[in-house]
Amino acid sequence: AQVQAKLQRRVERSLRRLGIHLRLKERLLLTEAQRMAGWIESSRSYMTNHGDYVETDLLFVCTGNVRYNTRLVEDLAARTIEEVISRTGEIHVLPTLQLVAYPHIFAIGDCADASPIKLATAAFDQARFCARNIFRLIRHRRAWEEEQAAHATFAALTQFSPHDMGSLHPHQHCSGLATPSSHSASSTQDDESRLATKRENNPDESAKLALYRPVPKFVLSLGPRDGVGQWPYVGILPAWFACRHKSRRLMLGQIYRFFGAELPPNAKTI
């Protein structure tokens, strides 16, 4: 809490030095179409939740008023939309980033309620957790299917009669195969019962998945020569760090490298 308060004061001072007028704890009352537009370029006034009016020439709809793109999962709701969408309009997910009602579907980024931090750093972290859990589910399901196949083979072998076993080729007898004499009928029924129970259970439910926990981690640009940030185990980042890594070129170099694109010849960036 102390770090957040100090960081907020730091950001407010920098914004006021830039001539930006802050109106905190207020929100514009926008229509659904205006929220979906993202930005509106026109001279008009908007009413706030306090009943005041704000004149704008260019309006950007940002976090807090934007409508999250959840239409892909809204149609999945069998009965009510609350099955997949939370009260805040976000996709309701577990700490494993799986949908509560549909654990075979994952949701990350701003549209998910996994984190109140709606930043690219949070989305990248969630993407790593999501990929890790998907791979774990694949490996777990593969092992589960192999186990079920082994149980099915074992159950089938224990149902051979002595006549069937005697008719096998001598080289087909081996100590690893259970015969009725070494495996009672009651134990066979127990094995079949356990096998049926395993088949009914969802194998994904027993997989050990990673739990995502949001961590405040970001770098905020406050003009070309100023900035601030917060990092785990470090606290508030100094202005020179924010300028070096983001404010000067808005991380243009990292973005180009991430997408495997080549920087323009006249772009000098880190």
Give the range among 143-152, 174-183, 222-231, 258-267 with minimum mean pLDDT.
174-183
User: Percent of the chain having pLDDT more than 90?
Assistant: 14
Contact present, 73 and 84 (Cβ < 8 Å): yes
- E strand map for the chain: 39-47, 53-60, 218-221, 227-231, 235-237
Q: What is the pLDDT of residues 15-53, one digit of tens each?
A: 888 888 888 888 888 888 888 787 888 888 999 999 999
Q: Distance of alpha carbon 147 from its chain centroid, rounded?
A: 30
Q: Which residues contact 114 (CB under 8 A, 6 or more apart)?
A: 93, 95, 97, 107, 108, 126, 212, 214
Asked whether the whole model's pTM tops 0.95, one would answer no
Q: Apex CA 258: angle with CA 252 and CA 260, to 5°?
A: 105
Average pLDDT estimate for 143-152: 74
Whether the predicted pLDDT of 92 surpasses 70:
yes
Spatial separation of the C-alpha atoms in residues 180 and 1, rounded to whole Å: 69
Confidence of residue 157 (pLDDT cuts 50, 70, 90): low
Give the range among 23-32, 198-207, 212-221 with minimum mean pLDDT.
198-207
Confidence of residue 203 (pLDDT cuts 50, 70, 90): low
CA gyration radius, the chain: 29
Residue 234: HSE in the Cβ half-sphere, 13 Å Cα cutoff: 14
Spatial separation of the C-alpha atoms in residues 140 and 103, rounded to whole Å: 15
